[in-house]
Amino acid sequence: MLSIKNLKAGIEDKEILKGFNLEVKAGEVHAIMGPNGSGKSTLASVLAGREDYAVTDGSVQFLKKDLLEMSPEDRAREGLFLAFQYPVEIPGVSNINFLKTALAEIRQYKGLPPMEAKDFLKRVKEKQALVELQVSLANRSVNEGFSGGEKKRNEIFQMAMLEPVLAILDETDSGLDIDALRIVANGVNKLRAPERAFIVITHYQRLLEYIVPDFVHVMYNGRIVKSGTKELALELEEKGYDWIKKELGETIEA
């Protein structure tokens, strides 16, 4: 489904991704871990199409199409979803209007007729329950006045509404308490399906106790330096990232 080959990208002359490779197949859950500054969030941004980043080399195929050639909206319409690390507050744009517009444009892209209002509202209700998001979405602006936990749950709720093929969760666990973490993970697990893949970017192993990955990759200095199964995450938790750095023969930073 997703094939990233030798991806090099950066921001303002600073190269952050330095030859990144990853293959993701339908139904798989990949976790990407790594210390701060290793390029995890840059990877998410480049895949979602954030224009601040320049790709200098490599390729990304998504469903056999060149992802890097597409606008951010077309990536989303093709089925890519990024759960933001810092969801944006958009005063004046109601959650419902936002989702309605997004769904309508995605459906139009796919040549589907607009969704009936009744079906749309039913879906909203159903998916809100999935992430235990109790706020009234009709009267509130996108993420405005939401707590940190509500914002993250709103990301998973949007994911459930849009039913992507590939979801990238960028540090969705950061800033969540243990209950919120369980709710978010629960929502993700309910969305796991044979046709859907996930890339879970996280700093800590904790989230992976709830969302059990098929593969764990350790990212360091702009590329994957070690891959394994879920046991790798436990090993990392135990030994810390310095272990990886040592293994790579690098000096430990103070």
Partner 1 sequence: MTNIAEKISPGDKLIAELELNQDSLTGSDVIRSTRRNALKSFSKQGLPARKSEEYKYSPVNRLFQKELSFVTASPVSDEKENSFALAGLDASVIRILNGVVHIPVSGFDSATCAAWSLKSLPKEELSFFENHFAHYALPDTDPFIALNTAAFQDVLIIKIADGAALAKPILIQNITDSTHASFTQPRIFIHVGKNASVEIIEQFASTKKEYATVCNAVSEIVVESGAKALFYKLQNDCAGLQLISTTQVYQHHDSHFDTHTVTFSGSWTRNNLNIVPDGEHCETHLNGLFILNEEQHTDNHTLVDHRKPNCESNQLYRGILKNKSTGVFNGKIYVRPDAQKTNAYQSSKNMLLSDDASMYTKPQLEIYADDVKCSHGSSTGQIDEEALFYLRARGISADSARILLMQAFAKDVVNTIRIEPLRKEIELLIEKRLAN
Residues that bind partner 1 (CB under 8 A): 48-51, 71-73, 75-77, 82, 84, 87-88, 90-93, 97-99, 101-103, 105-106, 109, 141-142, 158, 162
Q: Closest by alpha carbon to 102, among 45, 156, 161, 51?
A: 161
| Smallest distance from partner 1 to CB 199, Å | 15
In sequence order, what are the residues at sequence separation of 6 or more whose Cβ sits closer than 8 angstroms to the Cβ of residue 111? none
CB 34 within 8 A of CB 220: yes
CB 208 within 8 A of CB 233: yes
Q: Which is nearer to partner 1, 169 or 218 (CB)?
A: 169
| Smallest distance from partner 1 to CB 43, Å | 15
CB 203 within 8 A of CB 36: yes
Q: Closest by alpha carbon to 29, among 235, 223, 213?
A: 213
Q: Which two tokens stand for residue 71?
A: 């606008």
| Smallest distance from partner 1 to CB 86, Å | 9
DSSP E strands, 87-213: 90-94, 141-142, 166-170, 197-202
| Smallest distance from partner 1 to CB 144, Å | 10
Q: Which is nearer to partner 1, 170 or 173 (CB)?
A: 170
| Smallest distance from partner 1 to CB 5, Å | 23
CB 122 within 8 A of CB 133: no
Q: Which is nearer to partner 1, 85 or 205 (CB)?
A: 85
| Smallest distance from partner 1 to CB 198, Å | 16
Q: Which is nearer to partner 1, 57 or 73 (CB)?
A: 73
Q: Can you give the C-alpha Rg of the chain in angstroms?
A: 18
Q: Which is nearer to partner 1, 94 or 221 (CB)?
A: 94
Class of residue 110 by CB neighbours under 10 A (exposed 0-12, middle 13-18, buried 19+)? exposed
| Smallest distance from partner 1 to CB 50, Å | 6
Q: Which is nearer to partner 1, 20 or 84 (CB)?
A: 84
Side chain identity at residue 16, one-letter code: I
Q: Which is nearer to partner 1, 102 or 234 (CB)?
A: 102
List for the chain the helix, strand, coil content (%; round to 5). Answer: 40, 30, 35
